[in-house]
Amino acid sequence: MTVTEKLNGREVYDAIGQPKTIVAPMVDQSELAWRVLSRRYGADLCYTPMFHARLFANEEKYRNSMWSSMDGDKEKDRPLVVQFCANDPEMLLKAAKLVEDRCDAIDLNLGCPQGIAKKGKYGAFLMEDWDLIYKLINILHENLKIPVTAKIRIYEDKEKSLEYAKMVLKAGAQFLTVHGRTRDMKGQATGLANWKVIKYLRDELPKDQVFFANGNILYPEDLERCTAETTCDAVMSAEGNLYNPGVFWTKDNDKDKQFARVDKMLREYFEIVKSCDGVASRHAMKAHFFKLLHAFLNVHKELRPVIGKTSVNSDFSEWEKIVVEVEGIVEKIYQQDNIEEIDVIEVGGVEKWGGSYKTVPYWRCQPYFRTVDGEKQNTRSLKVAGESELIEASSSVSTSEKHKISEPLEEIETNKRVKA
């Protein structure tokens, strides 16, 4: 197939149903089981975790640990974009060829800001080598039946970001995702993604460019706000989705979908894991348990070490015990006489960043607020990518005793592997 016979980005976007909500690529976290769950809660399109192209192409053991016979299944796992990190065009092509019949596009990781990416020269550290980025994208564009896509971070300078985006598109990328943070914005310095820069890129690039925005999604309403402010085709979420798959539920305001009870969500997720082939879904389970339960574990601390010491290779019966315990605790909460009074979601005032924080009962899935020097990030000034002014975030998240706002779990309790 030649490039001219390939569907262009817009045609592919239409062919996969014009997705509006996207599960971001997340190392060890956007694996098959999680994608199945997220699709049930409104995700229209999913990205795989980043796979290492060289290992995927050359090492069967690695490949089998990342990719099973069910991944990319037409009925269960589509539409799907498979993401690779790479710095060798031939190797990237070799890896991509192995999955091109089992996904809708291949994405090149240009966003990983971690030390391991610096050492291996991939992810966001390719931002210093535009020639190589061009070659990596172009070889896929020229040789695959399906489109190549790219997810970029921005530079401090928006003009440079635009030149960068243009180069990526010229190389052949057909969907562009813009994560509105710079490479330095990670960990404690994560700060706010800059939707204005995303909108600027959107306006300056060709109108028919398939364009996705990424960053700052905490609640379902933020998806609509982001779409309106950036005029993107679709919105991608990583952390928002990870802590609450209901973040993509926009059909109605059903709180059992948007902020599902943790016992119900955990059970649903666990049953999906059991039905999935391969080891990736199983390996990701511990981190997902911690994240889905993060607010709940803040109150029921006794469960933390139980999850902590349960091995990802433990028999499912060990994990079942944890699920049953959570179900028992939440069932008791719902037997309280005043449950209708306390099972409510409070909406705060509009914040300077444009959205509103919500106070959600700890027995329901809810977003995670990053801590900076031990303080919730939303209680202090926030750096916005590419802007010198800080946003003074008010501390209007209610600390109502009724709901006991959760302290986020330490990273150590979730997973220590690389975040891209």
Using CB under 6 A as the binding rule, whether residue 27 contacts ligand FMN is answered as yes
| One of 19, 42, 240, 246 touching ligand FMN (CB under 6 A) | 240
Distance CA 173, CA 8 (A): 10
287 versus 330: smaller Cβ distance to ligand FMN: 287
Positions of E strands within 111-172: 148-153
Using CB under 6 A as the binding rule, whether residue 109 contacts ligand FMN is answered as yes
Q: Smallest gap, in angstroms, from Cβ of residue 142 to ligand FMN?
A: 23
Nearest to 105 by CA among 45, 41, 31, 153: 45
| One of 161, 230, 237, 281 touching ligand FMN (CB under 6 A) | 237
85 belongs to the catalytic site: no
Scan residues 258-297 and list those touching ligand FMN (CB under 6 A): none
Is residue 152 within 8 A of residue 336, CB to CB? The reply is no
Q: Smallest gap, in angstroms, from Cβ of residue 235 to ligand FMN?
A: 9
Catalytic residue among 46, 85, 112, 365: 112
Furthest CA-CA distance within the chain: 67
List of residues 6+ apart from 78 with CB closer than 8 A: 16, 72, 103, 104
216 versus 406: smaller Cβ distance to ligand FMN: 216
Using CB under 6 A as the binding rule, whether residue 179 contacts ligand FMN is answered as yes
Assign 345 to helix, strand or coil: coil
Binding segment for ligand FMN among 164-172, 231-239, 272-280, 394-402 (CB under 6 A)?
231-239
| One of 77, 104, 239, 413 touching ligand FMN (CB under 6 A) | 239
Binding segment for ligand FMN among 235-243, 248-256, 270-278, 368-376 (CB under 6 A)?
235-243
Using CB under 6 A as the binding rule, whether residue 31 contacts ligand FMN is answered as no
Distance CA 346, CA 304 (A): 27
Residue 175 has phi, psi (to 5 degrees) of -115, 140
Record the tokens describing residue 195, joined without a space: 């939707």
Orientation angle between helical segments 285-292 and 316-333, nearest 10 degrees: 10
Distance CA 310, CA 384 (A): 39
Binding segment for ligand FMN among 106-114, 306-314, 327-335, 353-361 (CB under 6 A)?
106-114
Using CB under 6 A as the binding rule, whether residue 83 contacts ligand FMN is answered as yes
Distance CA 293, CA 323 (A): 11
Q: How many residues are given for the chain? A: 420
Q: Smallest gap, in angstroms, from Cβ of residue 190 to ligand FMN?
A: 8
- My answer on whether omega of the bond before 79 falls inside 30° of 0, hence cis, is yes
234 versus 330: smaller Cβ distance to ligand FMN: 234
Using CB under 6 A as the binding rule, whether residue 111 contacts ligand FMN is answered as yes
Is residue 384 within 8 A of residue 344, CB to CB? The reply is no
List residues near ligand FMN by CB under 6 A: 24-27, 29, 49-50, 83, 109, 111-112, 151, 179, 214-217, 237-240, 419-420
Residues involved in catalysis: 112
